[in-house]
Structure 1
């Protein structure tokens, strides 16, 4: 995780937990009210949807910052250090491009939909799309910080080879042979 932003990602983690708690309370309350009392919270579905979208995008940013996204490093682990560095630069460049595309599309949709409001809560529909814009900017910031660190000589652990342990292809015959008596 980028050191300059650790405090921010702790805030994100807190917002994710609070968001999930609010969603759980809204949905549970709505179910109990509908089935138990033939009523309900009319805005619960819309509010839950908006919060869920924000929680997902905040989680994606936090996952990127922590290096928790799925990665397959079987090829990278076998490359020499300079080749790993080049692959890192290419991968980060591609991720920045994806962040640009996400930001561009989210910004366009946010602008288009900001004037429309949801029927029950009155929230702007563009608020949902703004989550993608926010996530794209934050992910780009994380990537740029990692690039800056790499250019100063510190690759993230997966790319640096810290977890790269080559599996032994040889099998100890004493472990596989059964005693025949």
Structure 2
């Protein structure tokens, strides 16, 4: 992950944890109130939905920055260096284009839906689409930083030709001694 952005992604990690805690607390409390006391928190579902959308989008930004997205690099690591760099540039160009499309669409929907509010919570419906806009901008920032670093000779792991190998499982010595005859 780029060093200048580490503090930002730490904040996103905290946001994701707090968001999941809010969702869990709201839903759990609502279930207990509905089944135990025949009442509930009227806005719990709407707030949980908005927080969940933001958590998902911010989590995907963090996953992109950490290189944790699902990827198949078995072909890329076998390519010669120039072909890897070409694939890297094409791949990042396509991802930046997707970020542009996501930002453009999210911005349009945010503007259209900002005047509409959710019935119980009063949260603008556009707040849901604003999560896509924020994620697109931040993902593009991460991609541009990676491209800048690649111009300085620092390619991300699969593109640099280093094949990722899973570490061998660690077996505790106590388990090994139990199997001995």
Counterpart in the other structure of 1:34: 34
| Contact 1:111 1:126 survives alignment (8 Å) | yes
Counterpart in the other structure of 2:19: 19
Q: What secondary structure, in the 3-state scheme, does the structure 1 residue paired with 2:69 have?
A: coil
Q: After TM superposition, give the deviation of residue 3 of structure 1 in Å.
A: 1.1
Question: How far, CA to CA, are the matches of 1:56 and 1:62 in structure 2?
Answer: 10
Q: What secondary structure, in the 3-state scheme, does the structure 2 residue paired with 1:112 have?
A: helix
| Contact 1:77 1:164 survives alignment (8 Å) | no
5 Å-filtered alignment, 1:90-129, equals 90-129=90-129
Q: After TM superposition, give the deviation of residue 85 of structure 1 in Å.
A: 0.6
Counterpart in the other structure of 1:135: 135
| Contact 1:110 1:129 survives alignment (8 Å) | yes
Counterpart in the other structure of 1:173: none
For the pair 1:49 / 2:53, whether they are aligned, the reply is no
Counterpart in the other structure of 1:84: 84
Q: After TM superposition, give the deviation of residue 70 of structure 1 in Å.
A: 0.4
Question: How far, CA to CA, are the matches of 1:12 and 1:164 in structure 2?
Answer: 26
Gaps of 5+ in 2: 166-181
Question: How far, CA to CA, are the matches of 1:46 and 1:76 in structure 2?
Answer: 43
Counterpart in the other structure of 2:174: none
With the length of structure 2 as denominator, give the TM-score of the two structures: 0.90
Question: Structure 1 runs of 4+ off > 6 angstroms?
Answer: none
Question: How far, CA to CA, are the matches of 2:163 and 2:21 in structure 1?
Answer: 35
With the length of structure 1 as denominator, give the TM-score of the two structures: 0.90
The alignment covers a number of residue pairs equal to: 165
Gaps of 5+ in 1: 166-181
RMSD of Structure 2 on Structure 1 (CA):
0.8
Whose radius of gyration is greater, 1 or 2?
Answer: 1
Question: How far, CA to CA, are the matches of 1:74 and 1:158 in structure 2?
Answer: 9
5 Å-filtered alignment, 1:168-179, equals none
5 Å-filtered alignment, 1:4-15, equals 4-15=4-15
Question: How far, CA to CA, are the matches of 1:134 and 1:2 in structure 2?
Answer: 19
